[in-house]
């Protein structure tokens, strides 16, 4: 145990979701160790939580082979900065949050320098490259997984692992009732409200928002009382978003900082895959999942990925409970057909809601951020 209890923890979060996870974990750490210092790479949420953010990771929050290559110089510079920070600051613990390949390199460097490494959010070894379990095991002191089925992958290779629960279970709660939100957001009380969630990264907005807006335009032609809402991700600027919305003939109500209140108002949602689809499932709203990658990334993914599904609700359920549209399947007609089915086919809608309830139950009672803090304190105390 550090003799003064003034521990220093370095965080490395490369994306919007990781920024939130790290911030929540640090808040829980402060409850147990009020004098703890936090520093590292992340975004606005970490900064608000009191972490000294030395590098804003929003510029390197990219996904896909082509996108990573485009930003390779920035990513490499960020890694070098973080490695230098490890050498200068000598933290008691490095917490790597998601952002897999970057954080694997950083974890290896830290381990070589004798710094303890806690990795939060496992790579999807159940979907592709299961051999990474051994690779990560050599670079870390503990893997904290967020799905219960992931534990077995690490245990069978004797890699230290702890199931901490999914962080979304704790944070996905609207602040107001649905009726209060509809009034607050100036939505029509009896309207059919359809959500548009085009992603939290720039390349996702560019690929997904135009086609979602075209689907919205077509839905507006066949549904008289229909409204569209878009909860704007913190990582997406007005400058990126507004040109698409202004060019569309459909009116979309954009709402900031209250995603869960927006989602609960919806009857159906068009969303990208990833954490957003899981959050929608936790709020029990029917959805269609749509996703496009660059042609090159998709070409390699087809041969590398060994899973039937891309959407977390389907992966957790172990079956296709939510319609997935991938790459060329993402068309206006397909999106419209699925939203229509959710809105008009009562039996289909009720079956999806029943399956989403099972997914929510499987994720348990939460406590992920506190469990992470407890785990970190145990590692610091050794």
What order do you get walking across the sheet with 116-120 strand by strand?
A: 52-56, 37-42, 8-13, 93-97, 116-120, 142-145, 161-163
Tell me the pLDDT of the chain averaged across its residues.
91
pLDDT attached to residue 310: 83
Q: Is the pLDDT of residue 187 over 80?
A: yes
Q: Is the pLDDT of residue 72 over 90?
A: no
pLDDT attached to residue 222: 93
- For 341-359, what is the mean pLDDT? 97
Residues 197 and 295 in one domain: yes
Examine residue 127 and state whether it is found in any structural domain, yes or no.
Answer: yes
pLDDT attached to residue 127: 65
Residues 129 and 187 in one domain: no
- For 36-58, what is the mean pLDDT? 94
Residues 212 and 154 in one domain: no
- Percent of the chain clearing pLDDT 70 (strictly above): 92
Examine residue 141 and state whether it is found in any structural domain, yes or no.
Answer: yes
Cα 23 vs. chain centroid, distance in angstroms? Answer: 14
pLDDT attached to residue 370: 94
Examine residue 172 and state whether it is found in any structural domain, yes or no.
Answer: no
CB 162 within 8 A of CB 145: yes
pLDDT attached to residue 196: 98
Provide the pLDDT confidence category of residue 1 given band limits of 50, 70 and 90: very low
Examine residue 3 and state whether it is found in any structural domain, yes or no.
Answer: no
Task: Residue 138: give the domain boundaries.
Answer: 8-165+367-381
- Percent of the chain clearing pLDDT 90 (strictly above): 73
Q: Is the pLDDT of residue 161 over 50?
A: yes
Q: Is the pLDDT of residue 116 over 70?
A: yes
The CATH number of the domain holding residue 194 is: 3.40.50.2000
Q: Is the pLDDT of residue 113 over 80?
A: yes
Residues 253 and 109 in one domain: no
- For 155-169, what is the mean pLDDT? 93
Residues 351 and 373 in one domain: no
Residues 111 and 183 in one domain: no
Residues 131 and 88 in one domain: yes
Examine residue 173 and state whether it is found in any structural domain, yes or no.
Answer: no
pLDDT attached to residue 148: 83
pLDDT attached to residue 234: 82
Provide the pLDDT confidence category of residue 299 given band limits of 50, 70 and 90: low
Residues 197 and 160 in one domain: no
pLDDT attached to residue 248: 95
Residues 212 and 351 in one domain: yes
pLDDT attached to residue 71: 65
Examine residue 73 and state whether it is found in any structural domain, yes or no.
Answer: yes
Residues 199 and 160 in one domain: no
Q: Which residue has the higher pLDDT, 139 or 302?
A: 139
Cα 321 vs. chain centroid, distance in angstroms? Answer: 20
- For 48-52, what is the mean pLDDT? 97
Residues 260 and 323 in one domain: yes
- For 21-38, what is the mean pLDDT? 96
Q: Which residue has the higher pLDDT, 310 or 358?
A: 358
Number of folded domains in the chain? 2
- For 367-376, what is the mean pLDDT? 95
Listed as own residue / partner, the contacts of 54-58 with beta carbons closer than 8 Å and 24 or more positions apart are 54/81, 54/85, 55/81, 55/82, 57/13, 57/14, 57/15, 57/18, 57/19, 57/99, 58/16, 58/235
pLDDT attached to residue 171: 85
- For 251-268, what is the mean pLDDT? 96
Residues 224 and 126 in one domain: no
Q: Which are the contacts of 368, defined by CB distance < 8 A and separation ≥ 6? A: 24, 146, 164, 165, 166, 167, 168, 169, 170
Enumerate helices (H) and strands (E) in the chain, giving the number of each: 18, 13
Q: Which residue has the higher pLDDT, 109 or 382?
A: 109
Q: Which residue has the higher pLDDT, 219 or 147?
A: 219
Q: Is the pLDDT of residue 300 over 60?
A: no
Q: Is the pLDDT of residue 4 over 70?
A: no
pLDDT attached to residue 308: 80
């Amino acid at each position: 145990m550090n003799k003064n209890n003034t521990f220093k923890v370095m965080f490395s979060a490369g994306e919007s979701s990781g920024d939130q996870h790290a911030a929540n974990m640090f808040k829980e750490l402060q409850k147990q160790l009020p004098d703890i210092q936090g520093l590292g790479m992340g975004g606005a949420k970490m900064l608000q939580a009191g972490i000294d953010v030395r590098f804003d990771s929003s510029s390197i929050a990219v996904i896909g082979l082509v996108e990573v290559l485009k930003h390779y110089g920035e990513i490499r510079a960020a890694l070098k900065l973080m490695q230098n920070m490890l050498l200068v600051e000598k933290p008691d613990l490095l917490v790597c949050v998601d952002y897999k390949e970057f954080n694997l390199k950083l974890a290896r460097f830290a381990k070589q320098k004798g710094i303890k490494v806690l990795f939060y959010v496992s790579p999807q070894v159940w979907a592709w490259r299961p051999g990474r379990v051994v690779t990560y095991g050599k670079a870390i002191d503990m893997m904290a997984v967020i799905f219960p089925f992931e534990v077995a992958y690490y245990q069978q290779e004797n890699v230290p692992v702890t199931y901490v629960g999914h962080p979304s279970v704790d944070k996905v709660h609207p602040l107001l009732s649905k009726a209060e939100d509809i009034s607050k957001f100036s939505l029509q009380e009896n309207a059919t409200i359809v959500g548009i969630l085009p992603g939290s990264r720039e390349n996702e907005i560019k690929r997904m928002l135009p086609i979602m807006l075209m689907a919205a335009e077509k839905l507006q032609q066949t549904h008289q009382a229909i409204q569209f809402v878009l909860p704007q991700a913190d990582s997406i600027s007005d400058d990126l978003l507004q040109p698409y919305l202004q060019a569309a003939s459909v009116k979309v109500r954009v709402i900031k900082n209250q995603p869960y209140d927006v989602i609960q108002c919806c009857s159906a949602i068009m969303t990208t895959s990833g954490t957003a689809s899981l959050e929608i499932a936790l709020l029990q709203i029917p959805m269609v999942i749509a996703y496009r990658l660059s042609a090159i990334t998709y070409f390699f993914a087809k041969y590398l990925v060994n899973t039937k599904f891309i959407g977390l609700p389907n992966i957790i359920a172990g079956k296709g409970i939510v319609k997935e549209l991938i790459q060329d399947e993402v068309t206006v007609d397909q999106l419209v057909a699925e939203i229509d089915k959710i809105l008009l086919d009562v039996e289909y809608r009720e079956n999806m809601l029943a399956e989403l309830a099972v997914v929510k139950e499987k994720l348990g009672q939460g406590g992920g951020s506190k469990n992470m803090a407890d785990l970190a304190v145990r590692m610091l105390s050794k």
